[in-house]
Amino acid sequence: MTKKKSRRDAVQLLSTPPIKTQKTGETLPVADNRPRMAASGQNKIDREYTYMPGTLLATHHAKRSSNRTRANGIVALTNFAKPVVGRIYDIAPGGLSFLHASETDIPASALEMEILIFDNLTKFEFLVNEIKGSIKAKISIADPISKTPTWRYSVEFLDLDLVQQKRLKILFDQVPPFNDQNSYERYQKTLYDS
């Protein structure tokens, strides 16, 4: 003989035990006790609860300590047999990130760079040369303009002398800030259409 399940039994089956987050170790309130996906199948909503401190994702979230400015320009890594040239994605007082079409084996040791920022609309050009840096991260992304697979490298500046610091400060004072992604994409489209 089968026992008929009551509404109370059904509600009890739907409730889940309290969930302790991996990020902070806190227990989520009852209103937020919904089932979470495992780390291997994480989604955008639950991503903050599934990465562990000390992992690459945690490093990615922690490394951005200064405001970054979108800039149109190129960076040339000059201490290779053949220079590696990439398109600058964004730049900050402590470093920059650039896009490169192929996955290049760039050592994490000290790099030498030449940075050229330019603006075709205002005929603005600015060069900062002989900057030392090191690769902090390499991420596979879709190019913001062509949507093709590309690599974004994050570089931290090392041992900046006084002249280089002043040139970078002048650069940040003159490069127009981009407040949102749409304005940056419109700006880039104008550059490539002209």
- Tell me what pLDDT residue 60 has: 44
| Total count of domains within the chain | 2
- Report whether pLDDT(92) > 80: yes
103-to-17, 84, 99 alpha-carbon distances in Å: 45, 11, 10
- What pLDDT, in 10s, does the model give residues 104-153? 777 767 789 998 888 776 677 888 888 999 888 888 888 777 888 888 88
- Tell me what pLDDT residue 43 has: 41
Q: Give the residue numbers spanning the domain of 164.
A: 66-193
Same-domain pairing of 55 and 137:
no
- What CA–CA distance (Å, rounded) separates 103 from 84? 11
What amino acid occupies position 113?
A: M
- Tell me what pLDDT residue 118 has: 82
- Tell me what pLDDT residue 58 has: 43
Same-domain pairing of 38 and 74:
no
What is the pTM for the complete model shown? 0.56
Same-domain pairing of 47 and 95:
no
CATH of the domain at 139: 2.40.10.220
